Amino acid sequence: MSTSSFLLNNGVEIPSLGFGVFQSAPEETAAAVTEALRVGYRHIDTAAAYGNEREVGQAISTSGLSREELFIETKVWISDYGYDETLHAFDKSAGKLGVEYLDLVILHQPLPTNFRKTLAAYAALEKLYADGKVRAIGVSNFMPEHLQHLINVTNVVPTANQIEIHPYFQQKDLLALDTDHGILNQAWSPIGGITFYYEGDGGSTLDDPTIGAIAQAHGKTPAQVMLAWHLARGRSVIPKSVKAQRIAENFDVFDINLTPDELSRMDDLDKGVRRGPEPVSLTLESHGMPIPEA
Ligand code: NDP
């Protein structure tokens, strides 16, 4: 099966389709990642806050794959923001993952109530990058004001911004801003998981009639055509599943060629309503939690 990759703005290659593990219970994570690696995924997206880096590391160590074949991405949680704290957060994550270096480390959220700490955390990522401990650095859930502020006062432009993007919430202005700065858009909830795994209004992308019709025309599933749409639009995707059949299904997308009309019909599904948390609403008081040592 042919796969594809993107070049980050520092020349590092990232597989275009990775494997997410948000809400994968620790006891399910090693098996899910093992299966993903068996199927052909080479990029894993985890986070200190997911509580499953150790299990991701178990799957890596038993995979038989060499470190160079893998692209490992993790995120620093807000409780570990600050220069020294974030340097130590790298040690904790790398220790649990059982690796010497990480391919991409991103700040999980902006901390608008203490942006000074967010900037200090990013300065630590710049140091880790300069020291060769991480191959690329980036951000997540950064809105235009956070991104612009960060770029104005730091030296290394983020390579990626991991944000909520699915057919029902497309953040087109933010996508354009990222692209203007050479920042790769990385879609979380790429098949719209956030539209169906919590209670809420607005419907599930999996049940969308337009997506369903396009899927049927290609003999594929709604999840598959959503992933193909992101890839065609130049976005990195990291779908999550703990089920072997879906892990394989979500990787079997590289032969889908959506027509310009199909792509624009999917672009038109945007409802402009965020389904995940408002990035500006997170504070240390509301969302802080200790990240255990390795
Ligand atoms: P996804 O869009 O990847 O959807 C995942 C959900 O869809 C799960 O409930 C999964 O259940 C189900 N599913 C997976 N494949 C299929 C399929 N083919 N057909 C039907 N249902 C399917 O949502 P996520 O929110 O998990 O986003 C993906 C990744 O992005 C995360 O795992 C995480 O790595 C990252 N992320 C980052 C965030 C951030 O703030 N930076 C926020 C949220 C996610 P099951 O496992 O039972 O198959």
Q: Using CA positions, which residue lies closest to atom 5 of ligand 1?
A: 193
Q: Using CA positions, which residue lies closest to atom 13 of ligand 1?
A: 241
CA–centroid distance, residue 105 to ligand 1 (Å): 20
User: Tens digit of pLDDT per residue, the chain (294 long)?
Assistant: 467 999 999 999 999 999 999 999 999 999 999 999 999 999 999 999 999 999 999 999 999 999 999 999 999 999 999 999 999 999 999 999 999 999 999 999 999 999 999 999 999 999 999 999 999 999 999 999 999 999 999 999 999 999 999 999 999 999 999 999 999 999 999 999 999 999 778 899 999 999 999 999 999 999 999 999 999 999 999 999 999 999 999 999 999 999 999 999 999 999 999 999 999 999 999 999 999 999
- What pLDDT shows up at residue 3? 77
Q: Are strands 5-7 and 13-15 parallel, antiparallel or unpaired?
A: antiparallel
- What pLDDT shows up at residue 1? 47
Rounded Cα distance, 15 and 3, in Å: 8
**Which DSSP symbol is given to 188?**
E
Q: For a ligand 1 pocket test, name from 17, 22, 46, 274 the mutation site with the most ligand atoms within 8 angstroms of its C-beta.
A: 22
Q: Quick one: which atom of ligand 1 is closest to the CA of 47?
A: 34
> Which residue stretches of the chain are H helix?
26-39, 53-62, 83-97, 115-130, 144-153, 172-180, 209-218, 222-232, 244-251, 260-267, 284-287
Q: Which residues line ligand 1 (CB under 6 A)?
A: 20-22, 45, 108, 140-141, 162, 188-194, 197, 206, 221, 223, 238-243, 246, 249-250
Closest CA to 137 of 8, 223, 28, 244: 8
Q: Using CA positions, which residue lies closest to atom 3 of ligand 1?
A: 239
Rounded Cα distance, 249 and 117, in Å: 41
Beta bridge partners of 71: 43
Ordered domains of the chain (ranges, CATH): 5-270 (3.20.20.100)
To the query of whether residue 50 is one of the catalytic residues in this protein, the response is: yes
Catalytic residue among 41, 50, 81, 129: 50
**Which DSSP symbol is given to 139?**
E
Q: Quick one: which atom of ligand 1 is closest to the CA of 221?
A: 18
CA–centroid distance, residue 279 to ligand 1 (Å): 19
CA–centroid distance, residue 248 to ligand 1 (Å): 14
Rounded Cα distance, 127 and 122, in Å: 9
Question: How far is C-alpha 173 from the chain's CA centre?
Answer: 19
CA–centroid distance, residue 242 to ligand 1 (Å): 9
The structure's pTM equals: 0.98
Q: For a ligand 1 pocket test, name from 72, 186, 191, 226 the mutation site with the most ligand atoms within 8 angstroms of its C-beta.
A: 191
Kindly report the number of other CB atoms within 10 A of residue 234's CB atom. Answer: 12
Q: Quick one: which atom of ligand 1 is closest to the CA of 194?
A: 25
Backbone angles phi, psi at 204, to 5 degrees: -100, 135
Residue 104 host element (H or E) = strand 104-107
Q: For a ligand 1 pocket test, name from 17, 33, 241, 280 the mutation site with the most ligand atoms within 8 angstroms of its C-beta.
A: 241
